[in-house]
């Protein structure tokens, strides 16, 4: 049973596409380099969960990167395999040679990128957009066009870039918050303006520098975007990207908009990526962290024992997580009584009070009382 409140809206949104970039932008996290085998495992897990598109890499980076993408493509997954590409013939050729289903072309469009990265006028961008899309179609590969640093690009020029991409038959046009510096209001304004003027589906690629990536993703979808970049655990450059598990679960359980992703596998995939990336997983990581469904406070535990929905918005099994009832200095008498009964033992109220006292003392020293330590306390008190 899902017990979310009556005040959240229900989004009746169709055909939202998640294209997960754990294997590309996620791997661009400083210090991360997945092995070829690890990439195959992650790709399989994403596909098992019914993630519809996987951004498998940036083939032009190296020969091994191209081989890795090709190996993922050869798995025969249901998911489409996407690859990143600068607007150069060699990059596009690398995408085609890797077997990619779609090239994700990108080019900087903000004045700061034009001045300090390209040292070129705006006309240069428009020419490159046409050149890149035309060459993709010549090579027989569909292509999306993303404006890097969209959220710091002057609006009229941004629309001009997207208009050129539409004229050249881009499969999608991408709004990119490259520095994660846009507010939800800004994302809504940009996506709405593009949607009102163009017919090509809009994708959003959002970074998390100000902790706004998830909010911006939901806002972008509400404004009319049809595709969202995610990464498992939100890994990626700097502060990372939209976390796959948070976006999928928020849409399904908060907005009641099921994207068709098997949420019961989210925790397993999260743990795999945490291990392979070497980043670990904070215990308080939303939804998939160990502490999210953990309870120690006596009041909370007593309520959860009667009805888990008192302190859990969804059952942990929905995410593939587990409930943990923790013993420590905040433990209450009701949980001690239950744990003693679970051991098949009988204790008087006085003995239960002594057991609780000892649990709290040890909890203050160590922070947590293990099962073996609890059994020892119970044995000690019952022996008198």
Looking at residue 48, its pLDDT comes to: 98
What span, in angstroms and rounded, lies between the C-alpha atoms of 159 and 383?
Answer: 79
The stretches of 224-279 forming alpha helices (DSSP H) are 244-249, 266-277
Strand partners, 83: 57, 103
Higher pLDDT, 94 or 339: 94
| Span 45-63, average pLDDT | 97
Looking at residue 193, its pLDDT comes to: 98
Determine what percent of the chain is predicted with pLDDT higher than 90. Answer: 79
DSSP label at 340?
H
- Residue 291 Rama label (left phi>0; alpha psi -120 to 50; beta): alpha
| Span 305-334, average pLDDT | 91
**pLDDT tens digits, residue range 206-238?**
999 999 999 999 999 999 999 999 999 999 999
What span, in angstroms and rounded, lies between the C-alpha atoms of 145 and 153?
Answer: 15
Q: Is the pLDDT of residue 261 over 80?
A: yes
Looking at residue 3, its pLDDT comes to: 55
What CATH number should be reported for the domain whose range is 17-261? 3.20.20.70
Please, what is the end-to-end C-alpha distance for the chain in angstroms? 44
Q: Is the pLDDT of residue 9 over 70?
A: yes
What span, in angstroms and rounded, lies between the C-alpha atoms of 132 and 87?
Answer: 5
| Span 232-245, average pLDDT | 98
Higher pLDDT, 296 or 78: 78
Looking at residue 11, its pLDDT comes to: 84
Q: What is the 3-state secondary structure (H, E, C) of 71-130?
A: HHHCCCCCCEEEEEEECCHHHHHHHHHCCCCEEEEEEECCHHHHHHHHCCCHHHHHHHHH
Coil vs helix vs strand at 148? strand
Domain boundaries in the chain?
17-261, 328-384
Q: Is the pLDDT of residue 315 over 90?
A: yes
Decide: residue 71, CB within 10 A, 0-12 exposed, 13-18 middle, 19+ buried. middle
What span, in angstroms and rounded, lies between the C-alpha atoms of 22 and 233?
Answer: 9
pLDDT tier at 253 (50, 70, 90 boundaries)?
A: very high
Looking at residue 384, its pLDDT comes to: 74
Looking at residue 2, its pLDDT comes to: 64
Residue pair 164/130 in contact by the 8 Å Cβ criterion: yes
pLDDT tier at 301 (50, 70, 90 boundaries)?
A: confident
| Span 292-298, average pLDDT | 88
**pLDDT tens digits, residue range 175-192?**
999 999 999 999 999 999
Looking at residue 306, its pLDDT comes to: 84
| Span 323-334, average pLDDT | 87
- Average pLDDT score over the chain: 94
Looking at residue 8, its pLDDT comes to: 86
Q: How many of the other CB atoms lie within 10 Å of CB of 80? A: 18
Total length of the chain: 384
DSSP secondary structure letters along 172-213: -EEEEETTS---HHHHHHHHHHHHHH--S-EEEEEB-TTS-H
Looking at residue 13, its pLDDT comes to: 83
- Worst-scoring range by mean pLDDT, 191-195, 220-224, 258-262, 330-334? 330-334
């Amino acid at each position: 049973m899902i017990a979310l409140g009556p005040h959240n809206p229900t989004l009746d949104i169709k055909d939202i596409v998640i294209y997960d970039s754990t294997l590309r932008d996620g791997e661009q996290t400083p210090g991360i380099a997945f092995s070829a085998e690890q990439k195959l495992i992650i790709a399989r897990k994403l596909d098992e969960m019914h993630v519809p598109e996987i951004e498998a890499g940036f083939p032009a980076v190296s020969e091994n990167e191209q081989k890795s993408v090709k190996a993922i493509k050869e798995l025969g997954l249901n998911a489409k395999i996407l690859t990143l590409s600068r607007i150069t013939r060699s990059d596009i050729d690398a995408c085609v040679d890797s077997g990619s289903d779609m090239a994700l072309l990108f080019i900087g469009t903000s004045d700061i990128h034009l001045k300090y990265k390209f040292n070129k006028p705006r006309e240069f961008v428009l020419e490159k957009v046409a050149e890149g899309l035309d060459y993709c179609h010549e090579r027989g590969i569909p292509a999306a066009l993303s404006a890097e640093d969209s959220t710091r690009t002057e609006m009229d020029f941004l629309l001009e870039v997207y208009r050129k991409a539409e004229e050249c038959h881009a499969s999608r046009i991408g709004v990119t918050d490259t520095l994660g510096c846009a507010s939800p209001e800004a994302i809504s304004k940009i996506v709405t303006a593009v949607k009102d003027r163009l017919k090509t589906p809009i994708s959003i690629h959002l970074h998390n520098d100000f902790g706004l990536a998830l909010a911006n993703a939901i806002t972008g979808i509400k404004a009319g975007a049809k595709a969202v970049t995610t990464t498992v655990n939100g890994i990626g450059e700097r502060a990372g990207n939209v976390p796959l598990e948070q976006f999928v679960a928020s849409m399904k359980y908060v907005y009641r908009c099921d994207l068709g992703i098997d949420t019961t596998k989210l925790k397993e995939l999260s743990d795999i990526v945490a291990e392979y990336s070497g980043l670990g997983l904070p215990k308080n990581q939303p939804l998939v962290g160990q502490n999210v469904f953990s309870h120690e406070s006596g009041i909370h535990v007593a309520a959860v024992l009667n009805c888990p929905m008192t302190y859990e918005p969804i059952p942990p099994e929905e995410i593939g997580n587990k409930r943990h009832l923790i013993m420590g200095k905040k433990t209450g008498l009701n949980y001690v009584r239950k744990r003693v009964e679970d051991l098949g033992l009988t204790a008087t109220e006085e003995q239960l009070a002594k057991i609780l006292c000892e649990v709290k003392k040890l909890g203050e020293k160590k922070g947590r009382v293990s099962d073996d330590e609890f059994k020892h306390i119970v044995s000690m008190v019952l022996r008198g």
